Chain A
Amino acid sequence: MVDSGSTDEALLAGMAVGDQAAAVVFVRRYQRRVFGLAYSMTSDASVSEEVAQEALIRVWRHAPVFDHRRGSVTSWVLTITRNLTIDALRMRRAVPTDPDDFAATAMMSLEHNPEDAVLRGDISDTVRSALSELPPEQRRAVVLAAVYGRTALEVSEQEAIPLGTAKTRIRTGLIRLRAAVERVRETEEER
């Protein structure tokens, strides 16, 4: 029997076989995260609600195909949310939240809901911290690519920079984030 202490994977497994109680627990666990991501990308509560509801419905429907070997439940759920938000922004030709604002909101949320911390795990907090230490132009490029799905060409056009510069900013930024994650992992292993 599932309850609020069940792991994400256990809840998804329950949902995969039609366990409604598992779905209720899962929704209540993730609705803030899902709505929060959409809201951080759009600054529009109405769009965010539509996206968040659709994302959680898709998770409910596609729970049987989740493959834990390809990443965490959190990443899977939020990637679905991100993709739906990008689609919604394109369909409405809406202006997304500026990447600086997205990053600032994320970085200011260090004092977050304890439940979120459990869900996010260390890597998210590490990435958030590392993102704050990136040069602003690299941070923008990484957020544009990782969150808004912009290609290097689109980043170069949006930022009015050469394509090679855009590629370098994206690559260097992501590599720096990876280095930060590795440093934390090594520190933990030494303990």
Chain B
Amino acid sequence: MIDDPHTHPCDEHSDNLAELALGILTGRERAATLVHVDSCTRCAEELEQLSRVADAVVTIAPGVEPPVGFEVRLFSRMGLAEAAPPVTSIASARRRPKGFRWLSASPRWTLAAAAVVIALVLGLSLGWSTGSGRGGTTPGGREVATAALLHAGTKVGRVSTYGGSNPWMTVTLTGSSTDGTVTCEVITSDGVTHKVGSFDAKGGYGAWGAHLWVAPQDVRKAEVVSSNGKVIATALLS
């Protein structure tokens, strides 16, 4: 076989360098290209440059504030609750009236959620979590409980309660099919149902935080109820 004098040895492989850099080249093409790159300085350099750009594409996504309680849950899973000082102040946090506030379904809701919660707790720490179920006494002296909101056995959100001198709770709906105004109720250990407040869900999505007017350690169950009185989701907190 006679080599084509017009064909550069790199030509056969250079077309594959972009796919190799992106990590999507497979099979024989990948193997052959890797062998070539191993012996070709020019292609190795080009691969490095393309890889740098390919890696950067993943980094262009904008940051989005995670849902309320994300950090608490994560530190609990990582066993870092004791090491994580609570977030105690954010410059933009301002005192707001007590009450309820729904958050829209856009990515911006997460930022708003944080602001609402921070405002609602009036500068209190975000608390500490000990994972699902009843929490223990935290460094800040606040009881915390976190539980999944379930609908027919499927997780559709989360409820967290926070104690201390100014108890509060958060509700997030992330996987339900609910639209419109819903009510959050908590059932305490004496079996009494307490309406905590109402908020709006859009496309099954919503997040909300409010003062809790009962002792959080007495809350056994939280329910999200639709406007027609149907229980949409339940969280067992004990």
Contact = CB atoms under 8 A, between A and B. Distances in A.
B75 interface: yes
Contacts of B107: 36, 39
A31 B66 contact: yes
Interface stretch (B4-12, B20-28, B129-137, B222-230): B20-28
A31 to B, nearest CB: 6
Instruction: Please name the 5 residue pairs, one residue from A and one from B, whose CB atoms are nearest each other, closest first.
Output: A109-B62, A32-B63, A20-B83, A146-B57, A36-B64
Nearest to B74: A53
Given A151-B24, A178-B53, A146 B58 contact: yes
Interface of A: 20-21, 23-24, 27-28, 31-33, 35-37, 39-41, 44-46, 48-49, 52-53, 56-57, 60, 71-72, 74-75, 78-79, 81-82, 102, 105-106, 108-109, 112-113, 116, 120, 123-124, 126-128, 131, 142-143, 145-147, 149-152, 167, 170-171, 174-175, 177-178, 181-182
Given A151-B24, A170-B18, A174-B22, A33 B63 contact: yes
A37 B172 CA distance: 20
A23 B64 CA distance: 20
Contact of A49 (B56, B57, B67): B67
Given A27-B74, A146-B58, A170-B19, 4 more contacts: A33-B63, A35-B110, A71-B51, A181-B49
Main secondary structure of the interface of A (DSSP, over half): helix
Given A24-B83, A57-B78, A123 B56 contact: yes
Contacts of B49: 178, 181-182
Contacts of A113: 63
A32 B70 CA distance: 10
Interface of B: 15, 17-19, 21-26, 49-67, 70-71, 73-75, 77-78, 80, 82-85, 107, 110, 155, 157, 172, 174-175, 205
A124 B60 contact: yes
B90 to A, nearest CB: 12
